[in-house]
């Protein structure tokens, strides 16, 4: 299945109502093949060769990269495809992530960006699967709380879909999120050198027109070669240290 083939089938479920969705007040535990972290799996191969060893997605029949969530849907016309048909839905990306925006742009979708602006550290769980789903859903709830939902439920209007997500890195059983300082980022990277980490991503797609939701998890393992101190310092002083688990 191509990278763009999955985000679509999931959105189709939301548009057609063929699957029972969970309440927005509970974590979405549906393990149908929906999105993980938008930038993690598809773009890990673009890391420097000395940083990355091998990447293995876990349970490929059930877990897919976030870019696949929109697969099969008709994109909006772009400068590179002026004859493309209009997409049959409106799309809101609940994230300011440049990587996530780039993925949707590359797939030819038009979308609006809204940010949740929540205190992610106020939501704590020991189980990374539960944590990322709670965070993704909390972001959706925060964005929806600032909307007049009735504006999206007018008869005859295109459905509007909201995508929110979160990712954590798990290293030696410890959940790691965005480092709080450069020193912490440095410690993270030194710990990864010659070892491996797991990533756990969760995505929730909300149909604002019907109120239905669909959510799922994606997991991957990433193996590192030894990382030279010089490379670690370069990464620490780059924007990479602002990402989850310095990832």
Selection from 57, 138, 149, 131 nearest residue 94 by Cα: 138
Q: Is residue 2 part of a domain?
A: no
Total domain count for the chain? 1
pTM (two decimals): 0.65
Q: Which residues pair with 176 in a beta bridge?
A: 169
CATH number of the domain within which 203 lies: 3.90.950.10
Q: Is residue 26 part of a domain?
A: yes
Q: Is residue 100 part of a domain?
A: yes
Q: Which domain holds residue 119?
A: 7-246
Q: Which residue is associated with the tokens 């990587």? A: 99
Q: Is residue 195 part of a domain?
A: yes
Question: Which is the catalytic residue, given 127, 157, 166, 226?
Answer: 166
Q: With cut-offs at 50, 70 and 90, classify the pLDDT of residue 93.
A: very high
Q: Is residue 223 part of a domain?
A: yes
Two structure tokens written together for 226: 């030894």
3-state secondary structure of 111: coil
Q: Is residue 74 part of a domain?
A: yes
* pLDDT tens, position by position, 201-235: 999 999 999 989 999 899 999 999 999 999 999 88
Q: Is residue 1 part of a domain?
A: no
Higher pLDDT, 13 or 94: 94
Query: How far apart are alpha carbons 55 and 103 in whole angstroms?
Result: 20
Q: Is residue 179 part of a domain?
A: yes
Q: Is residue 157 among the annotated active site residues?
A: no
């Amino acid at each position: 299945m191509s990278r763009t083939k999955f985000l679509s089938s999931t959105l189709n479920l939301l548009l057609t109502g063929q699957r029972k969705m969970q309440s927005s007040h509970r974590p979405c535990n549906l393990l149908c093949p929906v999105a993980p972290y938008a930038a993690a799996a598809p773009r890990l191969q673009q890391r420097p060769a000395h940083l990355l060893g091998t990447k293995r997605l876990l349970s490929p029949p059930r877990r897919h990269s976030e870019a696949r969530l929109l697969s099969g849907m008709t994109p909006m016309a772009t400068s590179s495809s002026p004859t493309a048909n209009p997409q049959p839905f409106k799309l809101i990306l609940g994230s300011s992530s440049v990587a996530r925006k780039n993925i949707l742009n590359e797939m030819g979708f038009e979308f609006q960006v809204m940010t949740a602006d929540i205190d992610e550290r106020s939501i704590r769980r020991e189980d990374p699967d539960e944590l990322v789903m709670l965070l993704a859903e909390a972001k959706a709830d925060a964005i929806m709380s600032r909307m007049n939902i009735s504006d999206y439920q007018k008869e005859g209007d295109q459905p509007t879909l909201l995508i929110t997500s979160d990712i954590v890195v798990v290293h030696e059983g410890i959940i790691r999120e965005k480092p709080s300082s450069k020193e912490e980022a440095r410690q993270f990277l030194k710990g990864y050198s010659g070892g491996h980490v797991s990533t756990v991503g969760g995505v929730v797609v909300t149909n604002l027109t019907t109120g239905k939701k669909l959510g799922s998890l994606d997991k991957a393992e990433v193996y590192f070669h030894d990382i030279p101190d010089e490379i670690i310092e370069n990464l620490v002083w780059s924007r990479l240290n602002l990402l989850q688990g310095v990832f």
